[in-house]
Amino acid sequence: MAHATPIDRVARLLTWVVAASLGAMMVLTFVDVVARKLLSAGVPGSVEVTELLMLGVMFAGLPLASLKGEHVVFDMLDAWLPAWLLRWQAVLANATCAALLAGAGVLVLQRAGRTAQQGDVTPALAIGVAKFHYLIGGLLLVTALVHLVLLVRGRARAQAGDSAGAAR
């Protein structure tokens, strides 16, 4: 087996986080529905916990989707654009995504600090929300880092393609 890179290890960890969150949501929903049918009372706070688990699915999945290029793509013009322009388009897209995600991550981390100071909690179970804001901010920064890695890889390919094209 090939040596796992740091990116591979982070991707594996995030995959497990997504899978565990989704699995926990399914089990919780199943137990809640069965309890409602059999006992006429659901699991207290199940909706709240499901919402918090959904954060794990969405924000841990975001760097994975970025790394694998699984976002929605508008590619109707790709057949008519030259390869060099497509490479530079990918570089520009990754630079823009990295900047926007890093900015969003910083804003969320700032919000997390305010939330921690105020002691905000969820309504039903009184779970502190600051830790989830910190998690979201951190995962947005991880996603920005993924786009920076893709940017560097894309620039290297674009430069290799440009120099190969110039050599012809």
Q: Which of 123, 135, 122 is nearest to 56 (CA)?
A: 135
Q: Extract long-range pairs of 162-166: CB within 8 Å, 24+ residues apart.
A: 162/84, 165/84
What's the whole-number mean pLDDT along residues 28-52?
95
Tokens representing residue 160 in the block: 């290799």
* Interatomic CA distance for residues 1 and 3, integer angstroms: 7
State pLDDT tens for residues 76-116.
Answer: 888 898 988 888 888 899 999 999 999 999 999 999 999 99
* Interatomic CA distance for residues 161 and 150, integer angstroms: 16
Q: Is the pTM of this model over 0.75?
A: yes
pLDDT at 155: 61
CA dihedral 164, 8, 54, 46 (to 10 degrees): 170
Map residue 121 onto helix, strand or coil.
Answer: strand
On the question of pLDDT at 12 being above 70, the answer is yes
Q: What share of the chain is helix, strand, coil (3-state, %, to 5)?
A: 80, 0, 20
State pLDDT tens for residues 104-161.
Answer: 999 999 999 999 999 999 999 999 999 999 999 999 999 999 999 999 887 656 555 5
- C-alpha distances in angstroms, 168 versus 98, 162, 163, 164? 33, 10, 9, 7
pLDDT at 157: 60
pLDDT at 159: 55
Q: Which of 117, 152, 151, 154 is nearest to 134 (CA)?
A: 117
Q: What are phi and psi of 75, to 5 degrees?
A: -125, 25
The single-letter code of the amino acid at 164 is A
Tokens representing residue 71 in the block: 């976002």
State pLDDT tens for residues 43-76.
Answer: 999 999 999 999 999 999 999 999 988 888 778 8
62: number of Cβ within 10 Å: 20
